[in-house]
Amino acid sequence: MKFFIDTANLSQIKEAQALGVLDGVTTNPSLMAKEGITGKNNILKHYVDICNLVDGDVSAEVNALDYDGMIKEGEELAELHEQIVVKLPMTKEGVMAAKYFSDKGIKTNVTLVFSVGQAILAAKAGATYVSPFVGRLDDVSTDGLNLIEEIRLVYDNYGYETQILAASVRHTMHIVNCAKIGADVITGPLSAIYGLLKHPLTDIGLAQFVADFEKGNKLNLIYLSTFDNNLSQF
């Protein structure tokens, strides 16, 4: 399973890249605004900066809602860097745009997916990724993980190559459960990825190893000191 980080923060992206497990980045207008990145030229430059930090795909979202606008913006985004994936909304126009870009060999990520039917349309249009929002479904008392499982079943039934990118991942168990049910990719905060490192028995075991090492070396120093004192008497 691929790990993407969902942010526009360059420091977090660098940190995730240094960990050695990062496969890509997803962003959106809200994340850009959160980092104070405003204005078309600044946003486009920021996408390039992100691409230069990572080796994998970087999803860059169009803002237009009409088909012609999506095509214009998407082509401009795709020209920025070979790692750019054009992110499109799950609308009639978005599906049409996904087909257009697919025919041109440009990668796409169809986002804001909340049903199996929407995921089928994205796959039929040739989308590279489909992004069902796990956390947002959980927020409205709906099982987001169940949607991932259902999409996996349908895609496997028909051999769709579109990758399931579990979005709106909120915590570590979202990642673990997405892995169990066959999501191809997860995207979420760095904190959720770091959470995979943690287990109390690891902490206990490491503390015991350190304590035993220090105890053993202390005894060894006492032995050597006694041995040296005995030698000095001869």
CA atoms within 13 A on the CB side of 120: 8
Alpha-carbon torsion angle 79, 85, 90, 96, nearest 10: 50
- CB-based burial label for 125 (10 Å; 0-12, 13-18, 19+): buried
Contact between 99 and 120 under an 8 Å Cβ cutoff? The reply is no
The phi and psi torsions of 199 (rounded to 5 degrees) equal: -155, 135
Query: 2, 14, 87, 180: which one is catalytic?
Result: 87
Long-range contacts of the stretch 127-130 (C-beta < 8 A, 24+): 127/88, 127/98, 127/102, 127/162, 128/57, 128/85, 128/102, 128/162, 128/163, 129/59, 129/85, 129/162, 129/163, 129/164, 129/165, 129/184, 129/185, 130/162, 130/163, 130/164, 130/165
Structure tokens at 98: 């996904």
Place of tokens 């959160």: 34
Identify whether 87 is a catalytic site residue: yes
Cα gap 5→14, rounded to integer Å: 11
Residues marked as catalytic? 87
